[in-house]
Amino acid sequence: MNILSILMRRCLAALVAVFLLLPTAYVQAAPEFLPVDQITKGMHGIAKTVVSGNTIEEFGVEVLEVMKQKGPSGDLLLVRTYGDLIDRTGGIAQGMSGSPVYINGKLVGAIAYGWPLTDHKIGMVTPIADMLKLWELPDGQAEKKEQTQEPLEFPDTAAVDTALAALTGKTSMATPLMVSGFGEQSLKMLSDKLKPYNLTPYAVSGSVSDTNNGIAYKTVEPGNTVGVQLVRGDVSVGALGTVTYVEGDKILAFGHPFLKRGKANYFLTDADVYSVINGLENSFKVGTSTEAIGIINQDRGAGVAGKLGKFPGVVPVRITVTDKNLNRTNEMWVQVIQDEELAPTLSAVSIFNAIEKTTDRIGSGTANVSFEISAAGIPGQTMKRSNMFYTQGNIGEMAVAEVHEALTLLAGNQFNAVNVMDVNVNVAIDSSRQTATITEAKPKTTNVKPGDKVDITVKLKPYRSEAITRHITYTVPKEQQPGTMALAVRGGGMVSLAQLLTKRQAGEEDLTKLFIKPRPKSLEEAVTELLKRDRNNDIVVEVIDMGIPDAAQSGEGNTPKKMTEKFETNPTPTSQTTANKMVAGSGNSAAKAAKATEAEKKVCITTDYIIDGDTQIVLNVQK
């Protein structure tokens, strides 16, 4: 059966489905299709798009060449556009992608490509036959087909760039991303994170509705502007494009990939176009997404495809940020698309944006951060974590680090898929430096027995403040062997100097192994490891032994190089002497305490300061 027959049968089936099954909002007369093999050089037609508000306008199209197998999914049509609309926009503008092209009243395909820094009136059209193939993938589940089935081929977009470069020396343009509600630094962070996807964020104004309030969708027809949205709520992140074809509740748009994710999970939204910005390099539509009207479930070389009235899975993110200096608290709420690669980054940037909008500054400071992540498939269905951070750089970036790490762990774990149902983040920012250095630690007694509780007084020197003391009770493990027992007293974000020295004395030259933990053997183990990690504002007392310590810490000086430099250039006499005694001792060293459980070997207390530095104490364990 030739392609013309297939397309004609599809057209007839679509008409029957529209009139028998669908609401009035979706009803429209389906056009005939014009296959590529019936298109010749010199043919003229029209295309439809919106350049202001919601009014669909037309412009002229002339076929310059039929380019066989030059596109990501097959043929491309080289065209010249003309008319009053093109004169006003300066040519093909970004956001006009998907504009349906008709010749003799028959749908040919979609405007899809243009060139920067050249004649913007010249562009390329993706044939409708290639776009229709997207509907052959049932609800984005093509990847689940049996391997014996022949997959549909969608070559990489690099093929388009290669073809265009061969013809004109130019490549296809980056997709403009319309972003609202973001601060300057947040926009920069978003831009950096999305560079691999060839997306360029532009700040626009406009509110985003999070619901349609039960109102019937307005008619969606070819030529309408729609949004493909990644984040919505108090902020919006998405791209604008044009509807190419609608059949029942199914929709085709763009004529080229958005992120080329294959199976996709994006919001499909209505959109308002403010204007078209003319530029030397290129022109682009400026507008914003409005209410959600459906889902985009395919993102391929020939365009994007989706369904009206069906909505994507989302990760709700609730953010509360307090600036203690301004005595100001902001609450923000966003929905982020469920995507294992994109969701952690988009969530983290949204949180960073909430911090920037609340503090209205960048720079140093102290952050108290707590988060709770509800997700099916993890121990207890919940991850709760709190920590404290300080940096002389941008405190907002550091404040989001652990939340991003936790979300990335869940989304990208190798064990099983995790459905994140809710993310709740609380951040309190203070411009002051709330750090303290351990200067001394003394036990109430040095002669102890297994099972004894030892009161340890820790002296701290807060930044530019008077010294203070804290008390921590350590219980000697019941199975601790008699002899010398060395304990490290350190900040939660630090690695004990004595531990480093012990490894070196024992012949371990590669100290970077101290910072590399074995890969977890289960998701439960990975989650537990993150949640039980020492906090930067903890005082930790632990047995010094020959094992690898819990060294994967965060906070100031959290890289192996920085921590090694810090400890090697600032050793204390007490630390050096204690370490040497421990290694040269009688043999009843902390290594004999390996029989004790980790819980018995370490104890922590939480403070109001980020704890820096370390020292050691020696106990004499008696029978």
- What are the structural domain ranges in the chain? 1-311, 315-430, 435-621
- The rounded distance, in Å, linking the Cα atoms of 216 and 448 is 76
Please report, for residues 126, 435, 471, 583, the alpha-carbon distance to residue 441 in angstroms, rounded to integers and kept in the order given: 72, 17, 9, 21
Phi, psi of 369 (to 5 degrees): -125, 130
Query: Which residue type does 398 have?
Result: M
Please report, for residues 381, 543, 574, the alpha-carbon distance to residue 314 in angstroms, rounded to integers and kept in the order given: 17, 45, 54
How many beta carbons lie within 10 A of that of residue 101, not counting itself? 30
Locus of tokens 């012949």: 507
pLDDT tens track for 103-122: 999 999 999 988 776 788 99
Give the dihedral sign, CA 184/190/196/199. negative
How many beta carbons lie within 10 A of that of residue 209, not counting itself? 14
- Beta strands 419-430 and 314-323 are parallel
pLDDT at 212 over 80: no
pLDDT at 491 over 70: yes
CA dihedral 520, 522, 525, 528 (to 10 degrees): 120
Band the pLDDT of 206: cuts 50, 70, 90: low
Give the mean pLDDT of 67-93.
87
% of the chain exceeding 90 in pLDDT: 63
pLDDT tens track for 270-296: 999 998 887 666 778 888 899 999 999
Locus of tokens 């409708």: 128
Q: Is 580 helix (H, G, I), strand (E, B) or coil?
A: helix
Q: What are the contacts of 41-44 at 24+ separation with CB within 8 A?
A: 41/65, 41/66, 43/103, 44/103
Locus of tokens 């014009």: 34
Do 418 and 377 touch, CB atoms closer than 8 A? Answer: yes
pLDDT at 393 over 80: yes
Query: Which residue type does 109 have?
Result: G
- The rounded distance, in Å, linking the Cα atoms of 4 and 310 is 30
Residue 519: what pLDDT?
86
Query: Which tops the pLDDT comparison, 42 or 219?
Result: 42
171-185, 213-227, 230-244, 574-588, range with the lowest pLDDT: 574-588
Do 241 and 273 touch, CB atoms closer than 8 A? Answer: no
- The rounded distance, in Å, linking the Cα atoms of 290 and 257 is 21
Do 283 and 95 touch, CB atoms closer than 8 A? Answer: no
Band the pLDDT of 151: cuts 50, 70, 90: very low
What is the full DSSP assignment across 200-239? EEEE------S--TTPPPPPP-TT-EEEEEEEEESSEEEE
Phi, psi of 590 (to 5 degrees): -65, -20
Give the dihedral sign, CA 236/237/239/243. negative
Residue 367: what pLDDT?
98
Band the pLDDT of 425: cuts 50, 70, 90: very high
- β-partners of residue 65 are 78
Query: Which tops the pLDDT comparison, 196 or 186?
Result: 186
- The rounded distance, in Å, linking the Cα atoms of 226 and 98 is 10
Beta strands in 340-397 (DSSP E): 365-376, 382-391
- Beta strands 199-203 and 106-113 are unpaired
pLDDT at 405 over 90: yes
- The rounded distance, in Å, linking the Cα atoms of 376 and 387 is 24
Mean pLDDT of the chain: 81
Query: Which residue type does 584 have?
Result: A
175-184, 501-510, 560-569, range with the lowest pLDDT: 560-569
Label residue 42 left, alpha or beta by phi (over 0 means left) and psi (-120 to 50 means alpha). Answer: left
Give the mean pLDDT of 73-101.
92
Band the pLDDT of 198: cuts 50, 70, 90: confident
The end-to-end CA distance of the chain, in Å, is: 91
CA within 13 Å, CB half, 440: 7
Q: Which two tokens stand for residue 135?
A: 């509907």
Instruction: Find, among 533, 463, 458, the residue nearest to 490 by Cα.
Output: 458
For residue 475, count CB atoms less than 10 angstroms from its CB and return exposed for 0-12, middle for 13-18, buried for 19 or more.
middle
Q: Which residues contact 437 (CB under 8 A, 6 or more apart)?
A: 460, 461, 611, 612, 613
166-175, 374-383, 472-481, 530-539, range with the lowest pLDDT: 166-175
Residue 4: what pLDDT?
43
Residue 351: what pLDDT?
98
Residue 77: what pLDDT?
95
Do 619 and 446 touch, CB atoms closer than 8 A? Answer: yes
Give the dihedral sign, CA 221/204/187/291. negative
pLDDT tens track for 538-548: 999 999 874 44
> What b/e string do you get for 407-419 counting C-beta neighbours within 10 Å, with b at 16 or more?
bbbbbebeeeebe
Residue 107: what pLDDT?
98
pLDDT at 145 over 90: no
Give the mean pLDDT of 517-540.
93
Q: Which residues contact 532 (CB under 8 A, 6 or more apart)?
A: none
Band the pLDDT of 445: cuts 50, 70, 90: very high
Query: Which tops the pLDDT comparison, 491 or 560?
Result: 491
Residue 254: what pLDDT?
95
pLDDT tens track for 448-480: 999 999 999 999 999 999 999 999 999 999 999
Give the mean pLDDT of 515-544.
90
Q: Which residues contact 577 (CB under 8 A, 6 or more apart)?
A: none
268-272, 295-299, 376-380, range with the lowest pLDDT: 376-380
pLDDT at 605 over 90: yes
Band the pLDDT of 594: cuts 50, 70, 90: very low
What is the full DSSP assignment across 99-124? -EEEETTEEEEEEEE--TTS-TTEEE
- β-partners of residue 390 are 366
Give the mean pLDDT of 418-441.
97
Band the pLDDT of 124: cuts 50, 70, 90: very high
pLDDT at 17 over 80: no
